[in-house]
Structure 1
Amino acid sequence: MYYNSTHSFLFVFLVMVFNISLAQQKDSTAVISYAEKMQIKLNVDSHLENYYITNSDDETDLNLALNNDLRLTVLLDYKIFSFSYSFTPDFLPGNHGDDEKGESSYSDFGISLFPGQFVQQLTYQRMKGFYVVNSDDFASNLPEDNPYLLFPDLKRTYYGGSTAYILNPDFSIENLVYQREWQRYNAGSFVPRLNYSYTEFSNDFEDFKGKEKDFDFSLDLNYYYNWVLAEKFNLSPYAYGGLGTRIENYKQRGDNLNEEDKNTYFTQEYGGGLQLGFNTDTFLMGARVSYKSLNYKNANDISIQNDSWYGLFFIGYRLDPPENLKRIADKY
């Protein structure tokens, strides 16, 4: 009797080990990782933000925008790191210098890390030179050769980051958002994300200088889904919504002016999008359309809204890393 029980236990144990090994094998083949490859990718997108300031008394929107239509991003991925640099080159359509709308400049740097089921992002961004899209609503007698109100010295500097956690361990956000992996079956996941940033707006109004400092903290909930259309194609919808708080400090300094105003507001944000991707072991490409919105009311009951629709096209190539880079990365 003892002999039979022992063999029964061994048989059950071996079956469990076999099933676990099959499950591990399935998981490892369901997501193809390209972490050992160096990935170079180019993005072209229209993700340049507009700012809408609405006065509840007369419901007039002040629409501020940059005089650039398209952004070019260069990305380099290797191991758990992703580096990016974005700018608005003149050779892209809509980025040519325009005397009517003034000169604008844009640049940002980003780094992303992927430890386990976490995604950590850090970003620095700088914009300068805005114009009022709906200038006719505020000045009806503008000359034909200068039909827009310009804020050439208005500058926005942004330091931000986010920490996200993928609740479903069998879902690859690196497949959808970063193309560092390829998921071969349908799967989705909720992804809570903590956002934190410091933004500074500054402008020279000739008689005085104004500076606004914003500290933003928010928590949002994202949902991503990977739908495999074919062996090398996927379709990926996503949506998110969140709440947060903004701590604002505005100062005005001039010869006869020295004012400061501090306020705290609750913010709302939401958005979503749809992405189509194509992937091979060496080549990748895709397109995405997205919408995002951030809004709040300030102490004077003025609504501030920052929203945009934007499109993105990406193309990339994977290759073996240089030996020097590989030796450095292997040490860590």
Structure 2
Amino acid sequence: MKRFCFIACFFLIYKVSAQDIVNLSEYLITNVSINTQSELLSVIDDDNNQRYSIEAANNLRTKLSANYKFLGLGFGFSPHTSNRKSKFLEARVNVFLKQWILGANFSRIKGFYAQNDYLQNVQTDFPDLKSTRYTLSTSYNFNDKFSLKHLIQKNEWQRTSAGSFVPSFTISYNRIFDLVDNEKYKQHNYDFSILPTYHYTWCIDNNWFIAPSVTPKAGVRFSSNSKAKNTFFTRGFNFRLQFGITTERVAVGAIFNFESNNINYKSVRRTINDRNHGQLYFAYRFDAPKFLERTVEGIERKLGI
């Protein structure tokens, strides 16, 4: 009987301790990633009655980020990879407040070029076309046994398998600007979207994990240019698969996104659609410098977090 009680207590203690999510927020986490994300624009040429796609010629993007405590900052850019020059810049801020995740993102892309060369009598290159986007988002994690920080911020380490429903709401403003035959073209898009995402992290052994997620999307877009104003619904679906290895100091992995977006194009000349893409990342956790530790702890005391 004593032996049975000892074995039962051992497994109970092991299970309870294994369920803990390891907090690594005392470290300063630096992260570098390379991804193959790109943007497409759908162009409708009324004169030639043709519709075709153009894309930014920067299929390889580099993103750098630093995360500490509840705050995450990121910056992205793309090197020139062909004679067709496209520019990409991105800045990101994430704030984690208990189960809430707040995000703000800015991105700018300039230079779009035709995907196909068979088009005739159509100007298919738009080197001056710029797309500027501002996005605000808020999400809530319903299960405190699941760590979204493990997947995004890298300042937690989930040790046992768990999943959670994480609904999100996003607001974005997208401005498209072009100069064609000395005539300015401007389009303003305001998007409001609901994304009811479900995440699951399957932990393998102690360090390896696989984390799929599915996200149906629904929203509304208000679009306007010099000729017309339009209101229509948007919808989409995203499947995300992340896998990697986590230790106390290092996080390495890959992310694959499979995305589909649907918009009524009849009255809209140009709209942006994200494509399927992959990402490789490497993160390392440094001991935070004292001045950063004091500054952030002072902010936490003032905000009561």
> Above 0.5 in TM-score?
yes
> Are the structure 2 counterparts of residues 192 and 233 from structure 1 closer, same or farther at C-alpha, using a change threshold of 3 Å?
same
The offset of 1:65, in angstroms, is: 0.7
Q: State whether residues 53 and 305 of structure 1, in contact with CA within 8 Å, keep that contact through their aligned partners in structure 2.
A: no
Give, as a single letter, the amino acid of the residue that structure 1 aligns with 2:177: S
* Equivalent residue runs for 1:122-201 within 5 Å: 122-139=104-121, 149-201=124-176
- Deviations, residues 172-226 of structure 1 (Å, cap 9, x unaligned): 1111233221111111111110010010000001241110001100111101100
- Deviations, residues 276-326 of structure 1 (Å, cap 9, x unaligned): 111111111001111223221145388956131101000011011111111
* Equivalent residue runs for 1:1-332 within 5 Å: 26=16, 30-53=20-43, 61-89=51-79, 95-98=80-83, 102-139=84-121, 149-251=124-226, 260-300=227-267, 306-332=273-299
The offset of 1:53, in angstroms, is: 4.8
Q: State whether residues 291 and 307 of structure 1, in contact with CA within 8 Å, keep that contact through their aligned partners in structure 2.
A: no
Q: 2:163 & 2:297 partners in 1: Cα distance?
A: 32
TM-score of the two chains, using structure 1 as the length reference: 0.80
> Are the structure 2 counterparts of residues 54 and 170 from structure 1 closer, same or farther at C-alpha, using a change threshold of 3 Å?
farther
Q: 1:166 & 1:218 partners in 2: Cα distance?
A: 18
Give, as a single letter, the amino acid of the residue that structure 1 aligns with 2:71: F
Give, as a single letter, the amino acid of the residue that structure 1 aligns with 2:248: D
Structure 2 residue matching 1:135: 3-state secondary structure = coil
Q: Which runs of 5+ in 1 are unaligned?
A: 1-21, 90-94, 141-147, 252-259
Structure 2 residue matching 1:50: 3-state secondary structure = strand
Aligned residues, how many? 285
Structure 1 residue matching 2:295: 3-state secondary structure = helix
The offset of 1:60, in angstroms, is: 5.9
The offset of 1:29, in angstroms, is: 5.8
> Are the structure 2 counterparts of residues 28 and 114 from structure 1 closer, same or farther at C-alpha, using a change threshold of 3 Å?
farther
Overall identity of the aligned pairs, in %: 27
Q: State whether residues 38 and 274 of structure 2, in contact with CA within 8 Å, keep that contact through their aligned partners in structure 1.
A: no
Q: 2:41 & 2:141 partners in 1: Cα distance?
A: 31
Q: 1:301 & 1:49 partners in 2: Cα distance?
A: 17
Q: 1:34 & 1:201 partners in 2: Cα distance?
A: 41
> Are the structure 2 counterparts of residues 198 and 305 from structure 1 closer, same or farther at C-alpha, using a change threshold of 3 Å?
closer
Q: 1:282 & 1:301 partners in 2: Cα distance?
A: 48
Give, as a single letter, the amino acid of the residue that structure 2 aligns with 1:132: A
User: Root-mean-square deviation (CA), in Å?
Assistant: 2.4
Q: Which runs of 5+ in 2 are unaligned?
A: 1-11, 300-305
- Deviations, residues 23-49 of structure 1 (Å, cap 9, x unaligned): 9x9479620111111000101001122
Q: 1:327 & 1:126 partners in 2: Cα distance?
A: 34
Give, as a single letter, the amino acid of the residue that structure 2 aligns with 1:87: F
TM-score of the two chains, using structure 2 as the length reference: 0.87
Structure 2 residue matching 1:156: 3-state secondary structure = strand
